Amino acid sequence: MDNELTPDEIKRLTALWLQKTPELSGAEIGRILGRTKNSALAKVHRLGLHPREALPGPARKLAERQSRPAPALASPRACQWIEGDSYKADIAAGRDPHCGKPSVPGRPYCATHDERSRAAVQPEPKVKARAWW
């Protein structure tokens, strides 16, 4: 098999490299062309195509996450008690999972939730020790 890219493959490589959304990685471009990541990136380098800003995996995900608008969460003076157990889904959908009622001054919760947060933990009932013999 000939390792040289055909003119059509070079055009496709150039188009894939320069496209903005979605920006494909070298490995993804190599897979599309039926080549390795290294052969695709080497050809990009030899063609003199401008390098893209390289972000490692976690930094790339963080940049994508930061580009999304943040959900409007409760103000600092609103009750911060999280309602229900689907708060991650609520935040992802842009909904505020917090109670939102006015909080007690100096406390993060409203009167109801502040009382619940301070409720005394009931001690476990003591079981009489049984003789082991």
Residue identified by tokens 């996450």 is 65
Euclidean distance between CA atoms 42 and 26, whole angstroms: 10
Q: In the prediction, which pLDDT does 26 show?
A: 85
The pLDDT of residue 86 is 72
Between the CA of residue 20 and those of 29, 89, 93, what are the distances in Å? 13, 29, 26
Whole-structure pTM over 0.85, yes or no? no
Phi-psi region of 48 (alpha: psi -120 to 50; beta: other; left: phi over 0): left
Nearest 5°: phi and psi at 46? Answer: -65, -30
Angle between helices 37-47 and 26-33 (to 10 degrees): 100
Distance, CA of 122 to chain centre: 38
Task: Map out the domains of the chain as residue ranges.
Answer: 7-53, 70-119
Extract the tokens encoding 116.
């619940």
Q: Output the pLDDT for position 65.
A: 62
Which residues of the chain fall below pLDDT 50? 1
What integer pLDDT is reported at residue 103 of this predicted model?
86
Residue 106: its pLDDT value, please?
84
Q: What is the pLDDT of residue 91?
A: 73
Q: What is the pLDDT of residues 80-102, one digit of tens each?
A: 888 777 777 777 777 777 888 88
pLDDT given for residue 25 in this prediction: 83
